Amino acid sequence: DSGVTQTPKHLITATGQRVTLRCSPRSGDLSVYWYQQSLDQGLQFLIQYYNGEERAKGNILERFSAQQFPDLHSELNLSSLELGDSALYFCASSVQGEAQFFGPGTRLTVL
């Protein structure tokens, strides 16, 4: 158990819909990262937050957004979903600049 929790574990939805994925980092970690794992693109970095502020952006679509709340949990919002958004979404947390620990992931299926 990495100490990072993600909900829900599975999500099935339809094209055009909006979903929210939630992540709670390990106790004491201020940095939260979101990654997407798809069959064609592999594991890709989406976005990072540090203590509530956006710190770095990767290959995140404009239809996607995220935030980190004062209690340090984070949410990834995916809107206008397309079939190609089906993937495993991981959250990771770390002490800034040190090892990242990954949550169990949320498997999103868009039908």
Partner 1 sequence: GIQVEQSPPDLILQEGANSTLRCNFSDSVNNLQWFHQNPWGQLINLFYIPSGTKQNGRLSATTVATERYSLLYISSSQTTDSGVYFCAVAPRVSDNDMRFGAGTRLTVKP
Query: Quick one: 70 or 97, whose CB is closer to partner 1?
Result: 97
For partner 1, which stretch binds (CB under 8 A), given 19-27, 55-63, 64-72, 74-82? 55-63
Cα–Cα distance for residue pair 78/14, rounded to 1 Å: 12
Residue 84 within binding range of partner 1, rule CB under 8 A? no
CB within 8 Å of 71: residues ≥ 6 apart? none
φ, ψ dihedrals at 85, nearest 5°? -85, -10
Cα–Cα distance for residue pair 108/111, rounded to 1 Å: 10
For partner 1, which stretch binds (CB under 8 A), given 20-28, 65-73, 76-84, 101-109? 101-109
N residues, the chain:
111
Enumerate binding residues for partner 1 (CB under 8 A).
2, 31, 33, 35, 42-45, 48, 50, 55-56, 58, 88, 90, 94, 96-102, 104-105, 107
